[in-house]
Structure 1
Amino acid sequence: MASPSMIDLEQRNRLPTLFEVLSRRTLAPVDLFSFYIYMRDQKRSVDYLDFWLDVSQHMSLCRHYVRELRRSVLVATPDLEKADSKSSTAALEMLEKLESFSEVPLAEPGPSNFPNRFNDVEEKDSDIRLSAFLRSEGQTPGHSPQNSLGSVHNNNMSQPSSNEQLPRDSSGTRADSPSPGHTVARADIRASAENREIVLPEEMVSSIINLVEDDGRDDPEVFDPAKDYVFQAMERDAFPGFLQAKALGNLVPLSIVARLAVALVSFGAGFWGAFYVVLRDQPKHIRCWVILPFVVASYFLVSYQYKIDPMLAVLGYSEYTFMTWSPIREPYVRKLLNKRALATMMIAAFVAAALSILFIFVPGTML
């Protein structure tokens, strides 16, 4: 899918929704890659997201299959006059069924009760018709881009063997396909439908197994209940924490703990130095050195408290994994982090100034 345009991003003066993240319409640090890392490293439930991505790929595979099947039937249309009437009628009937899929958008699938990108009714209706066609087409074996009329009438065309595994791109299609007829077979869809592993409620799992294995279905609607369940689970349990971590902060948990350790050490050094200069009745220009450890301690303390590194946020960087930084590209998130960074720096400056003034101007004594 193409990257979101800057106009769309600027118009979205808010935090993204889960569906926008899953449909790859957001940028770092609230993009799909960041969400995957968050689910893997922090929530330890990446299998839910893996399942969603598998269903996405299955939907894309089904749409490619129907598109290529339509093209293969169109290629065969000029030769229908030479075929017998029964074959001609069958091909024409299939072509009529496939006409509505000539411009099927290859968007990310959403929950069955959730508005999709191309809004709503039209794409949802397209998904329903796609599943209905695959169910009906599955009952008449032999129809696929590999063995459709266009390929049958052209016996001289080389066909890949059924055991040959060609490389696939991210959408599930073979990357080196020489023609539309060599892209996706019905067996690919069947194999994709059977390749699903996730922990779901027992009744839901049993229903999917019955539909796939007993009823022989491989259309996307088979996974609608599981897809909705997974979406709601991620939206309820993981996504709020993801936004809290990535849109309101720019640190991963290990960095947050490390900043607490640095803050405690710096505070220890600062208080030791402060009591030393006071108890030794050092002059004020010597006491001013206590500002340094208090500034470091205050900076790292507020960084720990608010889960944000203010200076790196102002520079436009967010942490993916420990000590791995990447530019912040989502406009609204960058604006939000800049505001929080300035606020935390003011708090750190206030704490450091208060402690420094206290120990610089307090009366000294000689022990």
Structure 2
Amino acid sequence: MEKIHHYHGDEAPPFHWTTPSREFMTHVLEQLPTLDDVLQRQSRPPVCLYNYYIVLRDRLHMETLLDFWLDVQQAEVLHRRYMRQQQRKKSQADKKLRQMSPVSPISPYNSAHSASSLSIPSPRPTSPHPSSLASEPEILTHMLLMHAHRPPPHQPPTTYPTKRSTTTTMGSQSSATTSTSALPHLLHQPTQMDMIDAVERIYLRYIVPHAEKELHALPLALRDQITRTFADKSQTLEDPKVFAPAKRYVHIVLESSFSLFLRYKVFMNLTLPQQLARLVIGLIALLLGLTLEFSLIFLDIMPWSKRLWGIIPLTIAIYCLCSSITGLDPMWVLVFNVSETTTLKFNAIKQVKVRQILRKRSLFLSLVMLSLILLLLVIFCSVPGHRL
């Protein structure tokens, strides 16, 4: 595709109601969302990610590229969450080990407390060794949850057994509630197996020959590089950076076709099936209108006002043919402010610049339609009748 050069002229670009020129397209592109804005869901309809996927699927047949880019992007987001989770677990484990490692200074109270602890067995279970804590993150997480609700060490134990048992029971219930409420959050955190499955799923879906959505547009060198990486059994693939070169290449291809998407959604509001249907309806209505008008003329039907009935199918024909050629329905824009996404399914035009462009084009197209209808009306009503 020919690269579009930026337009820096001071004068306003010429307005075209059929196919916009390259200069006008470039001038408009500078004021519209970019491809990155659309991919990051920072744009509004009709220039949005949903419509971009529809255009790639129905008109350009490139939806597989967008699927691949979005899947890799989602895997990268998941991997960042996974790395933050691992760093958080590591910092919590180090903090717990630092809390358990210091030796308190010897004092008479501590020695007496140690002697009493030797003579009276402690009802609490023995804590695991720090080395085992580092290797068991589930045990460490459970101990951290229990430690958050443990009474401070400087408070002396109470001498009332009933209250102590009540306090212990309440603390156990509170810690159990905390661990139960934290369980869904922990279950949703990505694990190493989740990352491995995500990376392998992308490979089996897009890269493997005869895959479900094989990327035929991907160069052979990139495919071989990814295949060799997966064939190496000495490393565990949990980082989607293996697809980074392919993702960059797909982004370049999508960027080259983005101007076509803007042409379809900024200057048009009809889908391809709608345009074809209107073309067929317009040709049929044109045939009926011309047949009726010529019949009234050559049969010399009086009064001449009866020829106005032939203008009705001609009006329908002009409206359908003009909207089919330009891909724009002025009524939908000026009255309903909608753009067609799929056949007879619409979304509101919320992008301000797109709304302005479509309204200007709709007004100009309506003026052209009205001029053609008046021209046909004058021609068929002014021609004298002649019976054959």
- Same fold? TM cut 0.5: yes
- Which position in structure 1 is the counterpart of 2:63? 46
**1:179 and 2:185 correspond:** yes
- Which position in structure 2 is the counterpart of 1:260? 279
Matching residue's letter, 1:324: K
- Which position in structure 2 is the counterpart of 1:247? 266
How many Å separate the matches in 2 of 1:67 and 1:19? 25
How many Å separate the matches in 2 of 1:54 and 1:285? 65
Quote how far apart the aligned CAs of 1:178 are: 2.5
Highest Rg: 1 or 2?
A: 2
How many Å separate the matches in 1 of 2:374 and 2:221? 62
Contact 2:323–2:329 (Cα < 8 Å) also in 1: yes
Quote how far apart the aligned CAs of 1:341 are: 1.3
- Which position in structure 2 is the counterpart of 1:221? 241
**1:202 and 2:223 correspond:** no
How many Å separate the matches in 2 of 1:335 and 1:48? 31
Matching residue's letter, 2:319: Y
Matching residue's letter, 1:224: A
- Which position in structure 2 is the counterpart of 1:318? 339
**1:153 and 2:135 correspond:** no
Change (3 A) 1:244 1:177: farther
- Which position in structure 2 is the counterpart of 1:340? 361
Deviations 1:308-363 (A, max 9, x none): 11111222111111122222222221221111111111111111111111011112
Q: Among 274, 278, 284, which residue is 2:304 paired with?
A: 284
Deviations 1:47-106 (A, max 9, x none): 111100111111110111122223333433541225669xxxxxxxxxxxxxxxxxxxxx
How many Å separate the matches in 2 of 1:338 and 1:274? 34
- Which position in structure 2 is the counterpart of 1:125? none
* Equivalenced residues, count: 278
Partner of 1:318, secondary structure, is strand
Quote how far apart the aligned CAs of 1:241 are: 2.3
- Which position in structure 1 is the counterpart of 2:97? 80
Matching residue's letter, 1:283: P
How many Å separate the matches in 2 of 1:149 and 1:333? 57
Quote how far apart the aligned CAs of 1:289 are: 2.5
Q: Is 340-349 or 12-21 further displaced after alignment?
A: 12-21
Q: Among 38, 59, 74, which residue is 1:21 paired with?
A: 38
Contact 2:192–2:238 (Cα < 8 Å) also in 1: no
Contact 1:298–1:352 (Cα < 8 Å) also in 2: yes
**1:329 and 2:335 correspond:** no
Quote how far apart the aligned CAs of 1:270 are: 1.2
Q: Among 345, 362, 366, which residue is 2:383 paired with?
A: 362
Deviations 1:129-151 (A, max 9, x none): xxxxxxxxxxxxxxxxx987754
Q: Give the % identical residues.
A: 32
Quote how far apart the aligned CAs of 1:290 are: 2.5
How many Å separate the matches in 1 of 2:343 and 2:376? 31
Matching residue's letter, 2:261: F
Contact 2:275–2:327 (Cα < 8 Å) also in 1: yes
Contact 2:52–2:261 (Cα < 8 Å) also in 1: yes
Quote how far apart the aligned CAs of 1:34 are: 1.2
How many Å separate the matches in 1 of 2:54 and 2:83? 33
Quote how far apart the aligned CAs of 1:212 are: 4.1
Change (3 A) 1:177 1:288: farther
Change (3 A) 1:350 1:61: same
Change (3 A) 1:177 1:290: farther
Change (3 A) 1:177 1:273: farther
Change (3 A) 1:78 1:156: closer
Structure 2: runs of 5 or more not aligned: 1-28, 103-132, 146-181, 207-213
How many Å separate the matches in 1 of 2:298 and 2:379? 14
How many Å separate the matches in 2 of 1:77 and 1:204? 41
Deviations 1:197-233 (A, max 9, x none): 1422222112123334424343343222101111111
Q: Is 183-192 or 56-65 further displaced after alignment?
A: 183-192
How many Å separate the matches in 2 of 1:256 and 1:344? 15
- Which position in structure 2 is the counterpart of 1:211? 229
Contact 1:177–1:183 (Cα < 8 Å) also in 2: no
TM-score normalised by length of structure 2: 0.65
- Which position in structure 1 is the counterpart of 2:77? 60
Deviations 1:141-180 (A, max 9, x none): xxxxx9877544245699xxxxxxxxxxxxxxxxx96335
Q: Among 25, 31, 34, which residue is 2:51 paired with?
A: 34
TM-score normalised by length of structure 1: 0.69
Matching residue's letter, 1:195: R
Matching residue's letter, 1:312: W
Quote how far apart the aligned CAs of 1:254 are: 1.0
